A and B are shown apart, each in its own frame.
Chain A
Amino acid sequence: MTRHHFKDHAREQVLVFRRMLVAFSFIVVLSGILAGRLFYLQIVKHDVHVARSNNNRIALQALPPNRGLIYDSRGRLLAENLPNHRLSIVRERVTDLDATLTQLSELVELSEDDIERFRRQLTRSRRPFSPVPLKEGLSEEEIARLAANRYFLDGAMVEASLMRHYPYGEVFAHSLGYVGRINIEERRVLNESLYSGTEYIGKAGVERFYESALLGQPGSQTVEINARGRVLQVLERTLPTPGADIQLYLDIELQQVAFEAFEGRRGAAVAIDVKTGGIIAMVSSPSFDANSFVRGFSTADYAVLRDSYDKPFLDRATRGQYAPASTIKPFLGLAGLQAGTTTWDATINDPGWFRLPNDDRLYYDWTWRTRRDGHGTRVGMVQAIEESSNTYFYDLAFRTQLEALHETLDAFGFGRNTAADVHNPARGLNPSRDWKRQRHGMPWFAGDTVNLGIGQGFLLTTPLQMSIATAVIAREGEWFVPRLLKDSSDPELLAALPEVQAHIELDDPSHWGRMASAMRRVVHGPRGTARRLAVGIDYEIAGKTGTAQVFSIEDFEEFDSEQTAERLRDHAWFMGYAPYNDPQIAVAVIVENGASGGGIAGPVARKIFDHYMAQPRDEVLAFEY
Chain B
Amino acid sequence: MNIKGYVRTLPTVNLGSQRALSYRLHLDLPLLLMLTLLMFAGLVVLYSATGGNVEFVQRQGIRILVAFGAMFALAQFDPRTIQRWGGVAYLGGLVLLVAVLLYGTTVNGAQRWLRIPGVITFQPAEVMKLAVPAMVAWYLARNELPPRFKHLCVALLLIVVPTLLILQQPDLGTSLLIISSGVFVIFLAGMSWWYITAGLLGAAASFPLLWLFVLRDYQKQRILTMFDPEQDRLGSGWNIIQSKTAIGSGGWDGKGFMEGTQSQLDFLPESHTDFIVAVLAEEFGLLGMLLLLTLYLAISARCLMIAIGGRDTFGRLLAGGLTLVFFIYVFVNVGMVSGILPVVGVPLPLVSYGGTSIVTLMAGFGIIMSVATHKNV
Contact = CB atoms under 8 A, between A and B. Distances in A.
B300 interface: yes
A17 B3 CA distance: 8
A31 B293 contact: yes
Interface string B136-159: 000000001110000000000000
Contacts of A184: 108-109
Contacts of B289: 35, 38, 42
B187 A12 contact: no
A50 B297 CA distance: 29
A92 interface: yes
Nearest to A9: B313
Given A56-B262, A125-B269, A42 B286 contact: yes
Interface stretch (A22-30, A80-88, A160-168, A498-506): A22-30
B190 A16 contact: yes
Interface stretch (B14-22, B82-90, B227-235): B227-235
A191 B296 CA distance: 37
Contacts of B221: 191-192
A27 B297 contact: yes
A52 B247 contact: no
A41 B313 contact: no
Contacts, number: 185
Contacts of A196: 234-235
Interface in A171-222: 184-185, 188-189, 191-193, 196-197, 218, 220
A42 B247 contact: yes
Nearest to A183: B109
Contacts of B290: 35, 38
Q: For chain A, which range describes its interface: under 10, 10 to 19, 20 to 34, or 35 or more residues?
A: 35 or more
A495 B208 CA distance: 31
A346 interface: no
A359 B4 CA distance: 88
Contact of A189 (B217, B247, B297, B335): B217
Interface residues of B, number: 71
Contacts of A14: 3-4, 7
A435 interface: no
Interface in B280-297: 281, 285-286, 289-290, 293, 296-297
B69 interface: no
A357 interface: no
A344 interface: no
A18 B190 CA distance: 9
B267 interface: yes
Interface in A1-25: 3-4, 7-10, 12-20, 23-24
A34 B334 contact: yes
B26 interface: no
A220 B238 CA distance: 14
A192 B234 contact: yes
A68 to B, nearest CB: 21
Contact of A23 (B108, B187, B241): B187
A553 interface: no
A50 B286 contact: no
B145 A127 contact: no
A220 B248 contact: no
B145 A16 contact: yes
A314 B107 CA distance: 27
Most buried by B among A13, A41, A189: A41
A60 B233 CA distance: 9
Contacts of B270: 125
B248 A20 contact: no
A20 B188 contact: yes
A46 interface: yes
Contacts of A197: 234
A37 B209 CA distance: 30
Interface string B205-217: 0000000000011
A53 B286 contact: no
B109 A56 contact: no
A45 B3 contact: no
Interface stretch (B115-123, B125-133, B249-257, B361-369): B249-257
Most buried by A among B188, B268, B323: B188
A62 interface: yes
A49 interface: yes
Contact of B235 (A3, A23, A27, A193): A193
Contact of B108 (A8, A15, A188): A188
Given A34-B338, A43-B252, A129-B266, A27 B300 contact: yes
Given A13-B7, A17-B3, A24-B304, A49 B267 contact: no
Contact of A24 (B216, B234, B236, B301): B301
A189 B281 contact: no
A2 to B, nearest CB: 12
Contacts of A42: 247-248, 250-252, 281, 285-286, 289
A125 B293 CA distance: 29
Nearest to A46: B251
B245 A53 contact: yes
A616 interface: no
B293 A34 contact: yes
Interface string A218-238: 101000000000000000000
Nearest to A34: B334
B340 interface: yes
Given A20-B304, A23-B187, A60-B234, A4 B297 contact: no
A218 B232 CA distance: 12
A441 interface: no
Contacts of B334: 34, 37-38
A48 interface: yes
Nearest to B107: A184
B190 A19 contact: yes
Contacts of B297: 27-28, 31
A127 B233 CA distance: 11
B246 interface: yes
A625 interface: no
A193 B247 CA distance: 24
Listed from nearest, the 5 A-B pairs whose CB atoms lie closest are A49-B248, A192-B235, A196-B234, A53-B249, A128-B266
Interface of B: 3-4, 7-8, 108-109, 144-146, 184, 187-190, 216-218, 221, 231-236, 238, 241-242, 244-252, 261-262, 265-270, 281, 285-286, 289-290, 293, 296-297, 300-301, 304, 307-308, 313, 316-317, 320, 323-324, 327, 330-331, 334-335, 338-340
30 contacts: A3-B144, A14-B4, A15-B190, A16-B145, A16-B313, A18-B3, A20-B308, A23-B187, A23-B304, A24-B304, A26-B324, A31-B297, A33-B335, A34-B330, A34-B331, A35-B293, A38-B286, A42-B251, A42-B252, A50-B249, A56-B245, A56-B262, A56-B265, A62-B234, A128-B266, A193-B232, A193-B234, A193-B235, A196-B234, A196-B235
Given A128-B268, A193-B235, 13 more contacts: A10-B8, A13-B313, A16-B188, A16-B316, A24-B304, A30-B331, A37-B340, A45-B248, A46-B252, A56-B245, A56-B267, A127-B269, A188-B218
